[in-house]
Amino acid sequence: MKTNDKRTNTLANKRQAVFTALACEYKPEIDSDDLFNIEVDLGSAIARTDYRIKSLKDKLDAVERQLQAVVDSTGGSRGLTSEKAMMQNLEVLGNQLKRYENTKANYEYSLELLSIKRSAQTDFYQKTLGKTYVPYSSKAKDVEKSKIERQYAIQWLKQNGHELEPVIK
């Protein structure tokens, strides 16, 4: 079986496998109706998957830039591939391009797997808890308000000779 066929087969089965694994993992909590712990734990797992997706996208962008830098350094067009370089007897360049192309393909495949996993996790969250997953975020501090407060404090200190009344006497 070729690598592409194996990957296509894996992608086709990944969603169901993740969904089944989550059902097994959270079966005790589901049986005891402990939805709070499922929400906390699964929410954390989804957030970790989101972080991994972001990290992988950054790596993919870096490889694409490296690949384009190699193509640009040769004065080649965007259409230059490892196969074209090999046909033009540019073996070293062809091998370098092939390495970047393989890395890019592997990152794209991994990104696709993670996207399927995240989709299965959020669907399981929805099915089990009956609500849509919303990423947790702490209350963000109002930056503009804090800048104004800081400017006001600096202005007050200038007006009062940079002296504060002692709090404890």
Predicted local confidence at residue 167, as pLDDT: 67
pLDDT tens, residue by residue, 103-138: 999 999 999 999 999 999 999 999 999 999 888 776
Say whether pTM exceeds 0.95: no
Residue 47 pLDDT > 80: yes
Q: How confident is the model at residue 141 (pLDDT cuts 50, 70, 90)?
A: low
- Determine what percent of the chain is predicted with pLDDT higher than 70: 80
CA-to-CA distance for 26 and 35, rounded, in angstroms? 10
3-state secondary structure the chain: CCHHHHHHHHHHHHHHHHHHHHHHHCHHHHHCCCHHHHHHHHHHHHHHHHHHHHHHHHHHHHHHHHHHHHHHHCCCCCCCCHHHHHHCCCHHHHHHHHHHHHHHHHHHHHHHHHHHHHHHHHHHHHHHHCCCCCCCCCCCCCHHHHHHHHHHHHHHHHHCCCCCCCCCC
